């Protein structure tokens, strides 16, 4: 299966709505943020349900105003935002759903069909990608089984250059044994 990639430096998404800064206040659930813009406190949808430990009260976030959008389906994109020592680590929190997706890709591949997993690495300091064994050893194990089964894995690095998301390049899987997020490892 061939993957068609944009040219490095190409904008792959441009926000139609204007982006504005806000102060992060709290995260009542995985998909909801409370932010302050001036004197106004607003609720905002957060697309990434991961742990996002970098998101702390007082952090500056970018928000956009969107109205009238209704969706009839949900498409999950694997986004990597955690980097340690240059290694993009996924997931940043345990993900039973992510493991089930890997198991389904393995079944598809074992049936003789092509299967692949695409990671959008949203950190410029990532030089490679690895499963985060310390945070979710079951996902890391399923990831290794998926590779052995022939599931193709692509890791694409992007940068946010307001108002665009810019493709930088494809990055490899990390060599040797995957480096875990040491804050969660049992050593």
First to last CA, the chain: 39
DSSP letter at 173 equals B
Angle at which helix 137-149 crosses helix 96-110, to 10 degrees, equals: 10
pLDDT digits (tens, 9 = 90+) for 54-68: 889 999 999 988 776
Same domain (yes/no): 44, 85? no
Q: Confirm whether pTM is higher than 0.75.
A: no
Q: Decide if pLDDT at 178 tops 50.
A: no
The confidence score (pLDDT) of residue 77 equals: 61
The distance from CA 154 to its chain's CA centroid, rounded to whole angstroms, is: 13
The CATH number linked to 87 is 3.40.1350.60
Same domain (yes/no): 36, 80? no
Same domain (yes/no): 167, 143? yes
Range of the domain at 48: 17-64
What is the rounded distance in angstroms from the CA atom of residue 128 to the CA atom of residue 115? 21
């Amino acid at each position: 299966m061939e993957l068609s990639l944009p040219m490095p430096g190409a904008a792959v998404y441009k926000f139609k709505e204007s982006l504005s800064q806000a102060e992060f206040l709290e995260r009542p659930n995985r998909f909801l943020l409370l932010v302050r813009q001036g004197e106004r406190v607003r609720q905002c949808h957060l697309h990434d349900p991961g742990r996002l430990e970098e998101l702390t009260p007082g952090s500056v976030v970018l928000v956009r105003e969107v109205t009238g959008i209704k969706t009839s389906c949900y498409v999950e994109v694997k986004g990597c935002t955690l980097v340690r020592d240059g290694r993009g680590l996924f997931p940043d929190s345990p993900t039973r759903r992510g493991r089930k997706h890997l198991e389904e890709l393995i079944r598809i591949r074992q049936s003789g069909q092509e299967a692949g997993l695409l990671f959008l690495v949203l950190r410029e300091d990532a030089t490679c990608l690895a499963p985060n064994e310390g945070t979710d050893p079951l996902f890391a194990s399923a990831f290794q089984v998926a590779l052995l089964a022939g599931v193709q894995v692509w890791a694409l690095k992007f940068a946010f250059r307001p108002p665009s998301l810019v493709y930088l390049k494809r990055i490899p899987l990390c060599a040797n044994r995957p480096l875990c997020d040491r804050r969660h490892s049992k050593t």
